[in-house]
Structure 1
Amino acid sequence: MSAVLEVQGLSKAFGAIQALDDVSFDLQKGELLALIGPNGAGKSTCFNMLMGQLKMSSGTVKLNGKSLAGLKPRQIWRKGVGRTFQITGTYASMTVIENVQMALISHHRKIYSFLVRAHLMYRDAAMELLALVGMQDQSERHCAVLAYGDLKRLELAIALAHDPMLLLMDEPTAGMAPKERIALMELTAQIVERRGVSVLFTEHDMDVVFAHAHRVMVLNRGQLIANGSVEDIREDARVREVYLGGGTLFNHDGESANA
């Protein structure tokens, strides 16, 4: 079975700084894949290239076998790639349901006017998405008064508005309380199972990663140093040294260096 996402030799340099160095991996349908690593490892750079916000220095990225090279973020979004961000970006002056309706209007490429008011469009579909993330009871609340954990759930509903096949989640539990982190990732795992969505997510909370990821990749200084099951990553001595343990990083020659 071909992978939903195929990445080969992905690299990005900023002058003399090699932010990502020859990274290759794939992501299968319905797989929850974690990308972890120390700060500055290249995780956000990788995400930004996958979504077209950064131009790759070299390498290929394919979605269902078709290249995404040179496409703009909105074009990649149209092809079925959604994204949530570490810092939420909802419209604070709008209600919860209006935020989801705006995403649905964009997805369906509809134009609204005074004759066809936006708040009347796709309400049923918006409520279905809010029910999926447990936010239907807060549909008429303004985003400005929501708790941060609720904003994260709303952002997930917005990301699902165009029924993506691939979802990129950049530190989805950042800034959340421990119980909220568990609840959000349990919800994400349920969506993966029900909808067959493939999810690539970055995360610093190892309890979240080990509890929910089907597979884990580890970046260090732009290089992919491990890719395997949760059990493999737990037992990998280099991973423990680089990320899970004493904070020692490795250079490209494999020699240790103090962080």
Structure 2
Amino acid sequence: MSLLTVESLNKSFGGVRAVDDVSFELPKGHMMALLGPNGAGKSTCFNMLNGQLVPSSGSIRMEGEELIGKRPRDIWRLGVGRTFQIAAVFNSMSVVENVQMALFSHQRRLLRFFKPLHRYDREPALELLRLVGIEQYADKPCSTLAYGDVKRVELAIAMAHGPRLLLMDEPCAGMAPHERNGLMALTRRLVDEQGISVLFTEHSMDVVFSFADSMLVLARGKLIAAGDGNHIRHHPKVKEVYFGSGKTFEEDAREPNTGAPVSTEH
């Protein structure tokens, strides 16, 4: 059963079609990678899914509920979490305080400080840190952590409102190989154990083929391939985008520089 259904999604900036008639379904408890070269439309697609950009046309539904037209915070409250390419945490605060702030926000209590922050929701915050494997750093400032651990803090923050869908924008950017494999193995476990769905963008193909259940490939705003790792690995258009000329669509049927039609006779 699909958690997320995207139909005929389009986004234009002036005369540029950044996302061009993209449709796909993301099942429950599924980990899907969104791939493509720089400028393919991945970030634009992501930013429409969580309401940061308004599509030019199309539909985005989560279990039948239309998300287009809703504010990002309302989409977040419906169960859509997100992590970013550059980890977004409060470096001056402790690890556990970062997660406590996320729990505060989810409970709509940010303007109701009647006691120090460290006394609110500490145990639930520690449980989330245990979930991502960094409880031992709970009282350390985020500024002292290795980058891979900061990404785990961000994941704990994203999990604070119990998301059904988690959007991860290049989660492994800037990480060493052992760090990124550890983070994605953790994400895989969350998918398997908690039944959440994950859509992630990533440039590290070893990560993608190791952890994704399925993949979508964009090029010049269009969806050119969808399927499992074996299908994507051998797809001719995907090979062309990543290893060939970069031309992803049918040629114009005219010889270059001559204007003469291309002959199909041999």
TM range (shorter): over 0.9
Partner of 2:145: 146
The answer on whether the counterparts of 2:9 and 2:21 sit within 8 Å (CA) in structure 1 is yes
**Does the 8 Å CA contact 1:4/1:198 hold for their aligned counterparts?**
yes
- The letter for the 2-side match of 1:229 is D
Structure 1 equivalent of residue 115 of structure 2 = 116
Q: TM-score by structure 2 length?
A: 0.92
Q: 1:212 to 1:254 in 2, by over 3 A?
A: farther
Task: Determine if contact 1:127/1:139 at 8 Å carries over to the other structure.
Answer: yes
Q: Is the 8 A contact 1:34 1:213 kept in 2?
A: yes
Q: Residues 128 and 157 from structure 1, CA distance in 2 versus in 1: closer, same or farther, beyond 3 angstroms?
A: same
Q: CA 1:175–1:111 in structure 2 vs 1: closer, same or farther (change >3 Å)?
A: closer
The letter for the 2-side match of 1:17 is V
Offset of 1:115 from its aligned partner? 3.2
Contact 1:130 1:136 in 2 (8 A): yes
Match of 1:188 in 2: 187
Q: Provide the secondary structure at the position in 1 that maps to 2:33.
A: strand
- Alpha-carbon distance between aligned partners in 2 of 1:55 and 1:114, rounded to the nearest angstrom: 34
- Select 2:247's aligned residue among 241, 246, 250: 250
Give the SS at the match of 1:94.
coil
How many residues align? The count is 253
- TM-superposed deviation, 1:34: 0.3
Deviations 1:174-198 (A, max 9, x none): 0000110111000000010010000
Deviation at 1:16, TM superposition (A): 0.7
Q: Secondary structure at the match of 1:141?
A: coil
Runs of at least 5 residues in structure 1 that lack an aligned partner in the other structure: none
1:151-166 equivalent positions in 2, closer than 5 A: 151-166=150-165
Please tell me the residue identity of whatever aligns with 1:139. Answer: A
Contact 2:240–2:248 (CA under 8 A) maintained in structure 1: no
TM-superposed deviation, 1:117: 2.2
**2:256 equivalent in structure 1:** none
Runs of 4+ in 1 over 4 A off after TM superposition: 111-114
Q: 1:150 to 1:28 in 2, by over 3 A?
A: same
CA deviation after TM superposition for structure 1 residue 255, in Å: 6.2
AA at the equivalent of 2:10: S
**Closer, same or farther: CA 255–160 of 1 in aligned 2, 3 Å:** farther
Query: Is 1:208 paired with 2:239?
Result: no
Aligned-partner residue type, residue 131 of structure 1 = R
Deviation of 1:103 (Å) = 0.2
1:132 aligns with 2:135: no
Alpha-carbon distance in 2 for matches of 1:9, 1:113: 43
What is the percent sequence identity of the aligned residues?
Answer: 56
Q: Deviations over 1:66-116 (max 9, x none)?
A: 100111110100000000000011001100000000000111112465632
Match of 1:250, SS state, is: coil
Q: CA RMSD in A?
A: 1.4
Q: 1:175 to 1:254 in 2, by over 3 A?
A: farther
2:162 corresponds to which letter in structure 1?
D
Cα distance in 2 for residues equivalent to 1:254 and 1:83 = 38
Give the Cα–Cα distance (whole angstroms) in 1 for the partners of residues 4 and 142 of structure 2: 33
Q: Which residue of 1 aligns with 2:8?
A: 9
> Do residues 91 (structure 1) and 106 (structure 2) align?
no
Specify the alignment match of 1:63 in structure 2: 62
Q: Is the 8 A contact 2:241 2:248 kept in 1?
A: no
Deviations 1:210-255 (A, max 9, x none): 0000001100000000000111001112111212x23x22254456
Note if contact 1:9-1:58 (Cα within 8 Å) is conserved in structure 2.
yes
Distance 1:214 1:5 in 2: 15
* TM-score for both structures, normalised by structure 1: 0.95
